[in-house]
Structure 1
């Protein structure tokens, strides 16, 4: 009997001081799950078209109106959403409209280990509301709320992240060229060297033939992409170095003065950390 009673869902505190709302965001629709004062433990759900901020704000106003009719008081709205592809623009809009908003790390929300948990927008929305309630009560280690960067801080990160993406893309093209040549018995070719074109013309297959024309053309196009990436990485690094020099705060200069820390690592620590 004791084992059976533990499966019952925990009761929700109904003496709420606000309207607690979670947002499950997707490209086509936003699921709004809310728990309002005077409504007991029942959560309501409402769909808003993806990107429809006026529709979302109208729904919040309607929730406040219904609660005011039911309780005779006007309550503020507290919102929570998971960090994801939508970034932080929705959070900034809500805060500008006077709504208390939080962005949570989805991996930090505790889930049951005893049984497999279903994955649906409805259940996720309820879990977010429960986490927001517990966080608002001051319970420790409930979830990890993100510190939302300013638009300037967010834009400052792009140079470091773009360089990483360009470097990964360059590695993919280098590996593709080496794989194509290895299939012909050729090894030791380095596509990043300055004489890459000259060395390519001199390559001989493992069975003593010149490289086939179609393969030569394919590798030449891969080298075109690599050379473009090399130039783009150089441009990004120049912009990164200029940003570190022109920074208004002393952190970048202090990091660069440390032995063993170069411009890239200093930029990562400053912009991301």
Structure 2
């Protein structure tokens, strides 16, 4: 059964006995990264079992249109690749870096905040859609203007629809309150000096506290990068060329890695062009892409996001301020984004 760790250790003990191995013989294992996260990895490590958490997308598969797939075949494949990995083929698959329990827990705030913002948008859109059914249109859902408008127009709706909208409003208000509470928590921690890396990143014009929080928690805070290529690869912003014979095609960015950080870096690239116009990165973009069409600018903004991520990594790791970048005044160091 899922989560039955006792059965796992019993199976390992039986395998050692069947193979005539000592009770303290080393054991190596692996499993695919997924919904279970890292609790199983930590449990195995606590029992002196060397474990790997691997990216399932990096595992070799048969490319036939129809291929057999069973749990036994999958386990046999993992076993063969595990043997190849410890035989010296380190690039046979991608191994995940495991955060500590504390580092994993630090990612809860901004992830919950992201979900709450999606819920707020969903509730707002739902209310707007229900109103349009009766040709009632309002600019903004929520706030004083909405409360005043609803007090004047609620009586025009039938009881069932009015009650449904009021329940949606309650859920919208709850999501808004929780969003404000989490944003206030972030601001307090940064202002109090408990998050120096986030405060330092938010000191750059064009980067707010929320964006800096996500970048540090998801990317720069606990991952160890050795060069700019690793930064781009982790974001999924690295190019993926296809060259076979005389055919050469650029397939775009790989989109492998942390999608939250990747989306955010593209947004920050646009923000960088707006608030850091005199920086070298902005000049580089304007010289090569600003004069082109929409497609050219979209390609350019991804390239700028890749360069900006490397520049921010160097800023946090080595203290190198991006060339030409401006810093916020002391009164504006902490801004929500």
Q: TM-score, normalised by structure 2?
A: 0.60
Are residue 252 (structure 1) and residue 202 (structure 2) matched? no
CA contact (8 A) 1:159 1:239 kept: no
| Paired position in structure 2 for 1:138 | 88
| Paired position in structure 1 for 2:132 | 182
Which structure: greater helix fraction? 2
Flag structure 2 segments of 5+ consecutive residues without an equivalent.
220-337
Cα distance, 1:260 vs. partner?
1.0
- Measured against aligned partners, the alpha-carbon deviations of 1:108-131 in whole angstroms (never above 9, x if no partner) come to 212122333333222221222222
SS in 2 for 1:68: coil
Change beyond 3 A, Cα 1:239–1:138: farther
Distance 1:223 1:73 in 2: 61
2:146 to 196, 209, 212: 196
Cα distance, 1:140 vs. partner?
4.8
Are residue 60 (structure 1) and residue 12 (structure 2) matched? yes
CA contact (8 A) 2:55 2:93 kept: yes
| Paired position in structure 2 for 1:26 | none
Are residue 229 (structure 1) and residue 175 (structure 2) matched? yes
Distance 2:88 2:205 in 1: 42
Change beyond 3 A, Cα 1:102–1:248: farther
Change beyond 3 A, Cα 1:140–1:114: farther
| Paired position in structure 2 for 1:166 | 116
Are residue 220 (structure 1) and residue 157 (structure 2) matched? no
Are residue 82 (structure 1) and residue 32 (structure 2) matched? yes
- Measured against aligned partners, the alpha-carbon deviations of 1:174-227 in whole angstroms (never above 9, x if no partner) come to 1111111111112234213333222113338xxxx9222322221111111111
Are residue 272 (structure 1) and residue 218 (structure 2) matched? yes
CA contact (8 A) 1:68 1:75 kept: no
| Paired position in structure 2 for 1:51 | 3
Change beyond 3 A, Cα 1:183–1:241: same
Q: TM-score, normalised by structure 1?
A: 0.73
Root mean square deviation of aligned Cα: 2.3
